[in-house]
Structure 1
Amino acid sequence: MRFIQIIEYRTSRIDEFNALLDSWVEKNKGHRLATRALQTRDRDGENVYLNIVEFPSYEVAMENSSRPETAEFAARIAALCDGPPSFRNLDVLDERTFQD
């Protein structure tokens, strides 16, 4: 079953955050476990962002979380945030795409 993790965070340093994120994406090219990621900005909250990351399964997501390089990246990202992130862990039950 596919799995989605939503990470909500606040940062007034989004450009630095994105530079670090871009570096992480490039560094993990060829051996990343996530299949898709979206970065969003909350229109109703100042400096509030959400990253929506999709994995093939919960187990793969947990494998990703247990990697030492992921822990290092998370610590570096946390230093750019204005508080601790919050996480939502979601199993994908259904998906619909509308083209009309």
Structure 2
Amino acid sequence: MAGFIQIIEYRTSKPEEIAALMEDFRAKREAEAGGPSPVRGVTGADRDESGRYFSIIEFASYEEAMENSNRPDTSEFAEKMMELCDGPTTYYNLDQVALQEYR
């Protein structure tokens, strides 16, 4: 299994603005249809700690994730996101070792 997952932990008082930024980034990527992109993304709000969020981004491989990270539009997105965060973000980089799907 070659999948790669990045978890981004962040705090913000502007979740709607970050959601709009993420949607704009996704739409532009989809319209371009070129180069490496995430396979899936999920964002969750911490129920126990208001203002804390986690984005879970899945890639087909570590190599595609690194290619994605090196794209100018990814850097621009990250800079804009940091402006909307209340402090630094924490990144977790995970090799996918198992997948269970429940239906």
TM-score, normalised relative to structure 1: 0.94
Match of 2:43 in 1: 39
1:42 positional shift: 0.7
Match of 1:52 in 2: 56
Amino acid at match of 2:88: P
Q: Over aligned residues, Cα RMSD in angstroms? A: 1.0
Q: Secondary structure at the match of 1:97?
A: coil
Match of 1:4 in 2: 5
Q: Does 1:67 align with 2:68?
A: no
1:70 positional shift: 0.5
Q: Where in structure 1 do 4 or more consecutive aligned residues deviate above 2 Å?
A: none
**What are the ranges of 5 or more consecutive residues in structure 1 without an aligned counterpart?**
none
Amino acid at match of 2:6: Q
Amino acid at match of 2:28: K
Amino acid at match of 1:17: I
Percent identity of equivalent pairs:
44
Q: What count of residue pairs does the alignment treat as equivalent?
A: 99
CA distance in 1: counterparts of 2:20 and 2:45, whole angstroms: 16
Deviations 1:3-31 (A, max 9, x none): 00000000000111111111111111123
Amino acid at match of 2:78: A
CA distance in 2: counterparts of 1:69 and 1:9, whole angstroms: 20
